[in-house]
């Protein structure tokens, strides 16, 4: 059970080169030809106006929002061709970085098998293949994993991806009798997933198929699925269907409120379907026994504005994570038959300095995942002995998360641990005595010595006196006199925390003397729920100020200097990039903005766009003038001015469903018309992918290597 927000919109980077004839001026209906090579495309301006709150608003590049117009595709292709021409000199460096990253990767690999029922499930990869294989083996003697047991390949994603520019699997659910597999796939990058059901005995697909499935769960009868489906236009998950295999889907629930979306899953003990309907600030949970899939869902606690909660079930008791009277959440228990607050017993009280992120219930234990001072920890409650054990780590910064422990009867809790200098490590923690067993650490081909690098926590005093945490990693021996190249990354939205993770590709930067830093700016829950609230709605500018103050700190303390500072952010982090370069363009040497949410007003004023209305509670409802004025004051597209800007690489995907391709396209077109400097401004669109970029692992490495090579070139690092 996770209390994290849905946060579907603005996240990852994507880019690839599509060759095209380079054209200098692109109009919405016609194109001028014969432009000189490496001349930047100039998008035509067209008349579009709309009155908002009594003010006439113009948008010269509105025509770029019409994806079906061939001129739009021509414009994107021309931008790609321009980018390819301008960056041709750095392609050898990109190839070198690609070879480095690929060379560190163990191409033939196996995930740590996880037991569920009579099988151990895992994924494995093969050399030269883009996608993993989903496999299982029968449980061995004494319940152990037996590597010699016969392997059953459930899905070969490489075969499924043949002929597709993009491929992704989302849902993956085994029926209770272990004979059927329900899974969903996307072949465009638009994150619209289609249901498939495979008979694992015959290897054949059943005829059951439904489009736009966002979550699913099996009933106990092995013949019924509960599925949620998103709206084709808005992409809001709003409908729940009951599907008896071989029959017609029957709608059993519709979420009418536009700010809410739904998802369905099962409790770990498999006794209940859990239907959760949630918005940014409110949630409701409904239950139905998996043994009676034709029955009616029953609400655990009625919807109440501002109340967010989630549940786990064990032996007739509900364990409820609730923010009622507890901003950072608390855990209470109550009888399944009487879950009202008057029957609550507190198990984990509220802590103003610690936010509860999730809980996991097992037959004998309850695991609570928490975050305090931007660091995660696990606490394990033993029902039999009524005591707690805490699992935390000694590094100054790290990322520790719950991993895959599907069995309700499990006595080992699986965790994933990593730090900026420690590769991802899978650990089993004994829930009885807390003993840790390392099962696997990510192998790095050619060897890796974490002692060559230093990582540490820094604290930045923001302009309003708030202490903002920041972490940093660099190769020992780097001069800390302001001359070092530094890459500063952050996100700062939706309550999503910035995490101190390990980066296999980042080694290529560290080995070239680059310092890498991440700032835990407000807008995430890095320091608790108040940290999110202080970086949203009418306090959103705290997010941008925290980032600028972090950059100023890094310059002041001589970690770097403005002419050596590059910044990076994606999705809502791309909004961050656009906002801070409008506010302080001289502070940054270069910027990589990935799938950036930069046209805030045109997106949030259009309720027909995917996800817009559901995000009024994060950004504000622009139909209200006060919110409109505040959002307008920081919207990157609307605040471009005639001044110098840093060098910029903007990457996007044509099929992006979270931040439409036209946001970065319009942003680049307008910025090119306004900026007064000669610094590079590049737009790179992956014409066959969406928000997350390329789907194949080698293609994703190539995209990342290009972005890194571009940044290295901005630091004049050419080898």
Catalytic residues: 571, 656, 691
Strands (E), 279-316: 283-289, 298-299, 309-314
Only one residue has tokens 């009202």, namely 340
Are 378 and 359 a contacting pair, CB within 8 Å? no
Only one residue has tokens 């409701």, namely 284
Are 209 and 195 a contacting pair, CB within 8 Å? yes
- The three-point CA angle 604-624-584 to 5° equals 60
Q: What are the angstrom distances between the C-alpha of 72 and each of 18, 250, 280, 665? A: 14, 40, 34, 10
Q: Which phi and psi angles does 674 have, rounded to 5°?
A: -100, -35
Q: How far apart are CA 32 and CA 50, in angstroms?
A: 29
SS3 labels along 362-374: CCCEEEEEEEECC
* Strand, coil or helix: 429: strand
Q: How far apart are CA 704 and CA 504, in angstroms?
A: 11
Burial class of residue 158, CB neighbours in 10 A (0-12, 13-18, 19+): middle
Only one residue has tokens 């791309």, namely 574
Q: How far apart are CA 719 and CA 704, in angstroms?
A: 17
Residues 6+ apart with CB under 8 A from 629: 53
Q: What secondary structure letter does DSSP report for 470?
A: E
Residues 6+ apart with CB under 8 A from 259: 279, 280, 613, 614, 616, 617
Are 309 and 320 a contacting pair, CB within 8 Å? yes
Q: What secondary structure letter does DSSP report for 206?
A: P
Residue 305: count other Cβ atoms within 10 Å of its Cβ.
7
Q: How far apart are CA 87 and CA 77, in angstroms?
A: 15
In the chain the first and final C-alpha atoms are separated, in Å, by 47
Only one residue has tokens 């100020």, namely 545
């Amino acid at each position: 059970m996770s209390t994290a927000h849905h946060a579907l919109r603005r996240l990852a980077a994507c880019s690839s080169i599509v060759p095209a004839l380079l054209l200098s001026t692109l109009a919405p209906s016609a194109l001028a030809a014969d432009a000189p090579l490496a001349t930047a495309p100039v998008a035509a301006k067209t008349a579009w106006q709309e009155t908002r709150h009594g003010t006439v608003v113009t948008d010269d590049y509105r025509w770029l929002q019409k994806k079906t117009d061939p001129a739009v595709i021509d414009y994107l292709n021309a931008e790609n061709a321009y980018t390819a021409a301008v960056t041709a000199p750095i392609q050898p460096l990109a190839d070198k970085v690609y070879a480095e990253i690929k060379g560190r990767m163990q191409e033939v690999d196996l995930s740590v098998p996880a037991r569920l029922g009579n099988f151990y499930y895992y994924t494995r990869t093969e050399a030269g293949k883009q996608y993993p294989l989903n496999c299982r083996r029968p449980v061995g003697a004494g319940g152990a994993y037996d590597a010699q047991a016969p392997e059953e390949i459930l899905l070969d994603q490489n075969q499924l991806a043949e002929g597709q520019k993009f491929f992704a699997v989302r849902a993956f659910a085994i029926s209770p009798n272990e004979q059927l597999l329900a899974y969903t796939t996307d072949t465009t990058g638009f994150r619209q997933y289609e249901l498939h059901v495979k008979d694992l005995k015959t290897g054949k697909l059943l005829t059951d198929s439904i489009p736009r499935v966002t979550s699913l769960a099996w009933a106990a009868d092995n013949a019924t699925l509960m599925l949620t489906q998103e709206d084709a236009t808005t992409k809001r998950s709003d409908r729940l269907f009951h599907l008896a295999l071989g029959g017609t889907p029957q709608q059993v629930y519709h979420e009418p409120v536009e700010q809410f979306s739904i998802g369905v899953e099962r409790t770990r003990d498999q006794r209940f379907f859990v239907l959760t309907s949630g918005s940014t600030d409110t949630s409701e949970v409904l239950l139905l026994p998996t043994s009676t899939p034709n029955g009616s869902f029953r609400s655990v606690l009625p919807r109440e504005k501002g109340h967010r909660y989630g549940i786990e079930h064990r032996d007739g008791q509900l364990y409820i994570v609730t923010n009622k009277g507890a901003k950072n959440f608390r855990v209470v228990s109550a009888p399944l038959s009487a879950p009202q607050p008057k029957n609550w017993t507190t198990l984990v009280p509220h802590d103003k300095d610690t936010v509860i992120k999730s809980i996991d219930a097992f037959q004998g234990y309850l695991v609570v995942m928490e975050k305090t001072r931007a660091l995660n920890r696990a606490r394990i409650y033993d029902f039999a002995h009524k005591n707690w054990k805490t699992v935390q780590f000694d590094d100054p910064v790290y990322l520790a998360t719950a991993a895959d422990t599907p069995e309700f009867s499990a006595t080992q809790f699986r965790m994933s641990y990593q730090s900026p200098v420690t590769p991802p490590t899978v650990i089993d923690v004994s829930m009885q005595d807390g003993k840790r067993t390392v099962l696997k650490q990510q192998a790095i081909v050619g060897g890796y010595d974490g002692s060559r690098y230093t990582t540490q926590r820094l604290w930045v005093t923001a302009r309003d006196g708030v202490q903002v945490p920041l972490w940093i990693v660099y190769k020992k021996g780097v001069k800390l006199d302001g001359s070092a190249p530094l890459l500063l990354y952050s996100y700062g939205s939706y309550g999503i925390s910035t995490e101190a993770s390990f980066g296999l590709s980042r080694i290529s930067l560290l080995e070239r003397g680059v310092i890498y830093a991440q700032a835990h700016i407000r807008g995430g829950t890095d320091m608790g729920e108040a940290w999110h609230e202080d970086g949203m709605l009418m306090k959103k500018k705290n997010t941008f100020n925290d980032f600028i103050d972090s950059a100023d700190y890094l310059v002041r303390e001589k970690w770097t200097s403005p002419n050596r500072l590059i910044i990076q952010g994606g999705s809502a982090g791309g909004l961050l990039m656009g906002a801070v370069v409008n506010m302080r363009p001289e502070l940054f040497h270069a910027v990589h903005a990935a799938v950036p949410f930069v046209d805030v007003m045109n997106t949030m004023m259009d309720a027909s766009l995917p996800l817009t209305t559901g995000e009024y509670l994060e950004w504000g409802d622009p139909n209200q003038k006060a919110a409109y004025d505040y959002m307008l004051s920081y919207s990157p597209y609307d605040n471009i001015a005639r001044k110098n800007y840093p060098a910029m690489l903007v990457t996007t995907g044509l099929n992006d469903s979270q931040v439409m391709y036209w946001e970065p396209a319009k942003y680049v077109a307008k910025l090119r018309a306004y900026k007064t400097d000669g610094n590079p401004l590049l737009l790179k669109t992956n014409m066959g992918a969406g928000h997350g970029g390329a789907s194949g692992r080698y293609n994703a490495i190539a995209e990342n290597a290009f972005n890194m090579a571009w940044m290295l070139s901005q630091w004049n690092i050419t080898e």
